[in-house]
Structure 1
Amino acid sequence: MQIIISTSQAPWVEGECRPVDSAAEVKASGTVTSDFRGFGACFNELSWIALQAVDERSRESMIDKVFSPRGLDLHYNRLPIGASDFAESWYSHNETEGDFAMEHFSIEHDHVHLLPYFQAARRAHGRDFTLFASPWSPPTWLKDHKAYNFGRLVWKDEYRKAHALYLAKFVEAYKELGIGIDAVHVQNEPDSDQKFPSCCWTGERLRDFIRDDLGPIFEARGVDAQIWLGTIERASFNDWVAPTLLDPEARRRIGGAGFQWAGKNGVQRTRHAAPDLPLIMTENECGDGDNTWDYAHYVFDLAQHFLNNGVQAYVYWNVVLERGGISTWGWRQNSMFCVDTETGELIDNPEYHLMRHLAGFVREGAAVLQTTGRWASNAIMFRNADGSHVAVLQNPLNEECEVRVEISNTVWSAVLPPKSFATLTDRA
């Protein structure tokens, strides 16, 4: 049984565990989900811009570590539709006011920073990704105050249908490039009236738009992307999910629901209300740009919560940013890697090593297993399709702990250093 341990002093140390004749303190007791779709991240412009400050060899090495099957194998990934809050500048794919037929729709802007990043990642991965996409803001002229930040979609029929057409044409434009969009999430954080690109909705408006506008337009045009209710954040189940789930026609139109990091309560209740509805975690919490080991432990807690409540994919946010992780609107955020733009140095951060534990040994089609025992809240367990097992453990304490883990009907002893992560696996 292989064990890998990470601490702030030694981020990746490999060893072997010994079997013991004693009761396990954590073991699998059932299946949370039998069809785990994988881990991923979001493609944002500021990541690719940061990577231009490092030499080509280092850039390719980092992309290989993150996206290739030899590395983290991140393959359930996200694209923004228009500008995200980590775009170089704010834009949409059609700023021609009054163009309700979307005749001037264009993804030309994406060819500068977004598509080169995506294509480099896809080359490293070696096959197509699973991709979902979401807008941060509709075109400004479709909103009630004609700006990327703040505001709402003008709630008139021609505006609603124009926005639905806008989303359909995005999927079609990417398909022409040989890039399949598997799902469109209606709005990034629909409860956030922010100074960065954003647009506020209500649960009822999401329901009506999906049922009466987006679903029919996708169907009429033969758009082969699913529609998902998402990405839900900071919102109650009753306000944001129930309106769509309890409406038969709206429910028929959606392929799943996606929750940002602050949607912790919503994911639990949605799983309970609709156990057959696919759920994913759409964005890992952003942090503050300090990239500490303590924050990596917080991210483990977040991942443990979502995975043990039935999400079928877990999506990180920015893979790489300039040192300090500052956005174009002034918010510092964490990333797996950061770039010192003065020296060209590429630095791996604690959350990269945590993602090595979470994603490095788990493959698409794995089962997420329920855990029991006194260490259950600090463990995430998987069974891969090939029958191999993976147990990711956290020691949140400031002292060394011995943990007994049952895998493949054998109990293994693992000694975990203070404030550490560990992976036990029988995967070859």
Structure 2
Amino acid sequence: LLSAPLFSAGREAHWICSTGSAPWGEQIVPTAVFDGTDHRVLVIDPDIEFQEIDGFGGCFNERGWDALSFLSQGEREQVLNELFHPVTGAKFSLCRMPIGANDYSFDYYSLADVAEDYDLRHFSMEREHKYLIPYIKSALQVQPELTLFASPWSPPQWMKINGFYACQGQKETSRLRWTPEVLQAYALYFSKFIQAYRAEGIPVQALHVQNEVDACQIFPSCLWSGEELTEFYRDYLIPRLDEDRVQIELWLGTINYGDIRHYADVMFADPLCRERVTGVSYQWDGKHAVAETHLKYPEKKIMQSENECGDGANDVKAGLYTFSLMKKYFEGGANSYIYWNMVLDESGMSTWGWKQNAMITINRDSRLPIYNFEFYVMKHFSHFIDPGARRIKTAGYNEEALAFKNSDGSIIVALMNDSFINKYITLRLGKEMIQVNVPSGSVNTIVFYSR
């Protein structure tokens, strides 16, 4: 790492820098009295606070656990520690899990595949014991305080008009059969899922009723309008959960549509939904609705529920783009940020032929993990920003920076340099400053510990 000499010793800042060739380099940088000599000044103002941060994490998928199974027990435990350990690892504390099949399951399935079984007498957790339950329980052993939220990619296929899990280009039929019998059965499906996982010792704390409500895919998917979601929550899901005494956070999501009028405005116009729904989860095109949602409904939480997946290159470019997404979401008011596949094998391939990125790649031949650049990008945030932290104001040279304040008073600055040249930057905190020469193509964290 490159650091400019400073003028007088004060308290120290901790600087962590990651480039593609040199991840997670650490050094101590002493502070000095701000002297006003530099024009490129990033000003951090801890007295102006914004939204609270709930946490960071990724998604548990079948193919992730399958990839981890190629490692020795020791290597697998090391990977899980790197992701979840609350002291030494990335400290992931908020993670997603699918309800039934998604694009990184091995095939189509649900937990209620017997057609017209409206009472769900054949509801089964048998498949969950092969991949998802051991994956999640292994994470919980490392981080017992892990918070989990769940969402389906598709209802059981017999509940859909097209009778099939995927959409396959037929938007008008890739929807729920809108009859009281099906809607009651689907609400029961969610209640049974939550209770079944809790009986396994896996506490699902939040429910998001549909992944990407506006996506027609060749893998499991189902389309919903805002009006349909509102009716389902109000007339079927909330009454079912209340009757079964299942307490859980309900979220509107995950929304991949960038116009607030089609989903958030519709649901929050309903008094019961406005009262009972905790927040909105956005991903992909939904990022364009984040700031407006936060401004219009400041009492509602906002989650980035799935990082954009890339093309399997797992390169620095993808990591820098992820940083830019995090900046857009957090400056828009998001409270949390969730990566997609935490772990995949070296192919990165989904069951339906889409090659995607992962934070950690497992090589099946060498049986060794590779920590990709996006792992370090996520860790630059999640390792330092505690749940309960607040985003704080930055000014001046802040186009590639975010700042946060933990409850212990420490100040966390996340800083990117996506240019082709190193950048000499002054960071000002009150009357103090540090000056750093930030490498090209790098992601950085600078920690000012409280006195």
Contact 1:396-1:418 at 8 Å conserved across structures: yes
Q: Give the letter for the 2:446 counterpart.
A: L
| Structure 1 residue 409 displacement after superposition | 4.9
Q: Is 1:396 equivalent to 2:414 in the alignment?
A: no
Matches within 5 A, 1:360-371: 360-371=383-394
Contact 2:100-2:153 at 8 Å conserved across structures: yes
Contact 2:258-2:287 at 8 Å conserved across structures: no
Within the candidate set 74, 80, 84, 1:57 is matched to 74
- 1:295 corresponds to: 318
Q: Give the letter for the 2:60 counterpart.
A: F
Listed one character per residue, the Cα deviations across residues 193-247 of structure 1 (whole Å, up to 9, x for unaligned) are 1100000111111111111111111111111111110000034111121100122
Measured in 2, the distance between the counterparts of 1:116 and 1:368 equals 35
Q: In percent, how many aligned pairs have the same letter? A: 36
Matches within 5 A, 1:404-423: 404-407=426-429, 409-423=431-445
Measured in 2, the distance between the counterparts of 1:370 and 1:274 equals 21
Within the candidate set 25, 28, 31, 2:45 is matched to 28
Q: Is 1:11 equivalent to 2:23 in the alignment?
A: yes
Matches within 5 A, 1:190-269: 190-269=213-292
Within the candidate set 49, 52, 60, 1:43 is matched to 60
TM-score, normalised to structure 1, is: 0.96
Q: Give the letter for the 2:410 counterpart.
A: S
Unaligned runs of 5+ in 2: 1-12, 168-173
Contact 1:258-1:279 at 8 Å conserved across structures: yes
Contact 2:410-2:449 at 8 Å conserved across structures: yes
Measured in 2, the distance between the counterparts of 1:249 and 1:319 equals 36
- 2:92 corresponds to: 74
Measured in 2, the distance between the counterparts of 1:326 and 1:409 equals 51
Listed one character per residue, the Cα deviations across residues 343-364 of structure 1 (whole Å, up to 9, x for unaligned) are 2121110101111211111111
- 2:328 corresponds to: 305
Matched residue pairs, number? 425
Decide whether aligned partners of structure 1 residues 408 and 243 sit closer, same or farther in structure 2, where only a CA change above 3 A counts.
Answer: same
Measured in 2, the distance between the counterparts of 1:346 and 1:421 equals 22
| Structure 1 residue 157 displacement after superposition | 1.1
| Structure 1 residue 167 displacement after superposition | 0.6
Measured in 1, the distance between the counterparts of 2:429 and 2:147 equals 30
Listed one character per residue, the Cα deviations across residues 50-108 of structure 1 (whole Å, up to 9, x for unaligned) are 11112221111011000111211101111101111111222100011111111211222
- 2:171 corresponds to: none
Measured in 2, the distance between the counterparts of 1:249 and 1:192 equals 27
Listed one character per residue, the Cα deviations across residues 156-188 of structure 1 (whole Å, up to 9, x for unaligned) are 111111101101111111111222111100100
Measured in 1, the distance between the counterparts of 2:136 and 2:109 equals 18
| Structure 1 residue 15 displacement after superposition | 1.1
Decide whether aligned partners of structure 1 residues 57 and 136 sit closer, same or farther in structure 2, where only a CA change above 3 A counts.
Answer: same
Within the candidate set 376, 384, 400, 1:378 is matched to 400
Q: Is 1:96 equivalent to 2:114 in the alignment?
A: yes
Measured in 1, the distance between the counterparts of 2:329 and 2:101 equals 27
Contact 2:103-2:219 at 8 Å conserved across structures: yes
Measured in 2, the distance between the counterparts of 1:176 and 1:427 equals 42
Q: Give the letter for the 1:87 counterpart.
A: S
Unaligned runs of 5+ in 1: none
Q: Give the letter for the 1:25 counterpart.
A: L
- 1:138 corresponds to: 155
Q: Give the letter for the 1:137 counterpart.
A: S
Measured in 1, the distance between the counterparts of 2:288 and 2:268 equals 16
- 2:5 corresponds to: none
Contact 1:133-1:183 at 8 Å conserved across structures: yes
| Structure 1 residue 366 displacement after superposition | 0.8
| Structure 1 residue 253 displacement after superposition | 2.5
Contact 1:389-1:408 at 8 Å conserved across structures: no
Contact 2:49-2:391 at 8 Å conserved across structures: yes
Q: Give the letter for the 1:11 counterpart.
A: P
Contact 1:211-1:253 at 8 Å conserved across structures: no
Which structure has the larger Rg over C-alpha atoms? 2
Decide whether aligned partners of structure 1 residues 409 and 248 sit closer, same or farther in structure 2, where only a CA change above 3 A counts.
Answer: farther
Decide whether aligned partners of structure 1 residues 336 and 427 sit closer, same or farther in structure 2, where only a CA change above 3 A counts.
Answer: farther
Moved over 6 A (4+): none
Listed one character per residue, the Cα deviations across residues 20-52 of structure 1 (whole Å, up to 9, x for unaligned) are 42344232362221x311101110000000111
Measured in 1, the distance between the counterparts of 2:108 and 2:251 equals 24
| Structure 1 residue 408 displacement after superposition | 6.2
Q: Give the letter for the 1:417 counterpart.
A: P
Q: Give the letter for the 1:140 counterpart.
A: Q
Q: Give the letter for the 1:64 counterpart.
A: N
Q: Mean Cα displacement is larger for which, 402-411 or 285-294? A: 402-411
CA RMSD of aligned residues (A): 1.4
Contact 1:189-1:230 at 8 Å conserved across structures: yes
Task: Report the secondary structure of 1:17's partner residue.
Answer: strand
Measured in 2, the distance between the counterparts of 1:245 and 1:57 equals 48
- 1:115 corresponds to: 133
- 2:200 corresponds to: 177
Within the candidate set 409, 415, 438, 1:387 is matched to 409
